[in-house]
Amino acid sequence: MSQTHGKTRWKRFALVMVPSIAATAMVGVSIANSALAASFSVSGQQFKVKTTYLKGDNFAQFGAVDVETNGTLHPVAVSAFDDAEIHNLCQSVVTDLSKLGLGKITLQLNAGNDEKKPVTAHNLLIDLEQLDADATFTDINIGQDASTLTGSATKGWKGHPALKEAGAKLPSGSVGFAQAAREAVLTDVKQTARATSAGTFVLNGLSLKLKSGDGAGNECF
């Protein structure tokens, strides 16, 4: 998703979350049929998220391509939730500041650790590259045309200027293969993503720390 960065590398730290469900086969089919839509400009950095529980309403997923400012393309699975509830959220992103003599610095964000005050999000969109989780879907439809997806989060993505600019490259106005479900529940989530956005994002119990180094103990996993 579109992110604005400052002139210093510190501004690349994004306070975001990304729980969703990966669909590697879906992305593969979309690429094979040249149906991947151009998505949003990204910094090029990946970030990790770990959460014990995610419940999302009006889940949808489809293929897209995130584009760095230098033109590098990254195929992703865009996951959309109209509304989501997340428990025990941990997000981490690593920035290499070795040229400044500081080595690698990890920003770790935690929120939603109180069972009665989880993290909540409305119109949540996630550009995902990898996920491990246990998942349960209710009323799922796999293989529908992404142009027929409903839900406020999906409509918001399809209205993004980057997608409109790519319209000429899309087959019959479609953004390709998609899957959708009335509800998605994920537990023991570990995932890696490029970007995310939300209309409203409430981080109850927010705690943010900068740690020297990366890997175990600094990153979420």
Distance between CA atoms of residues 65 and 78, nearest Å: 9
In a domain, 178, yes or no: yes
User: Which structural domain, as residue segments, surrounds residue 187?
Assistant: 9-212
In a domain, 176, yes or no: yes
Q: For position 186, what pLDDT does the model report?
A: 96
In a domain, 1, yes or no: no
**Count of structural domains within the chain:** 1
Q: For position 158, what pLDDT does the model report?
A: 58
- Return the H-helix or E-strand segment holding 39: strand 37-42
Nearest to residue 60, comparing CAs of 130, 128, 161, 132? 128
Written as tens digits, the pLDDT of the chain (221 aa) is 444 444 444 434 333 344 343 333 444 444 444 445 555 567 888 999 999 999 999 999 888 778 887 888 888 888 899 999 999 999 999 999 999 999 999 999 999 999 999 999 999 988 899 999 999 999 999 988 777 888 888 876 655 544 444 444 444 444 577 899 999 999 999 999 998 888 899 999 999 999 999 999 999 99
Q: For position 50, what pLDDT does the model report?
A: 95
For the chain, how far is it from start to end, CA to CA, in angstroms?
A: 23
In a domain, 174, yes or no: yes
In a domain, 219, yes or no: no
In a domain, 84, yes or no: yes
Distance between CA atoms of residues 120 and 166, nearest Å: 31
Nearest to residue 151, comparing CAs of 81, 217, 104, 199? 81
Nearest to residue 108, comparing CAs of 215, 9, 2, 186? 215
3-state helix/strand/coil string of 55-113: EEEEEEEEEEEEEECCCCEEEEEEEEEEEEEEECEEEEEEEECHHHCCCEEEEEEEECC
Distance between CA atoms of residues 40 and 158, nearest Å: 11
Predicted TM-score (pTM) of this structure? 0.77
Q: For position 133, what pLDDT does the model report?
A: 95
Alpha helices in the chain (DSSP H): 24-32, 152-158, 161-165
In a domain, 221, yes or no: no
In a domain, 80, yes or no: yes
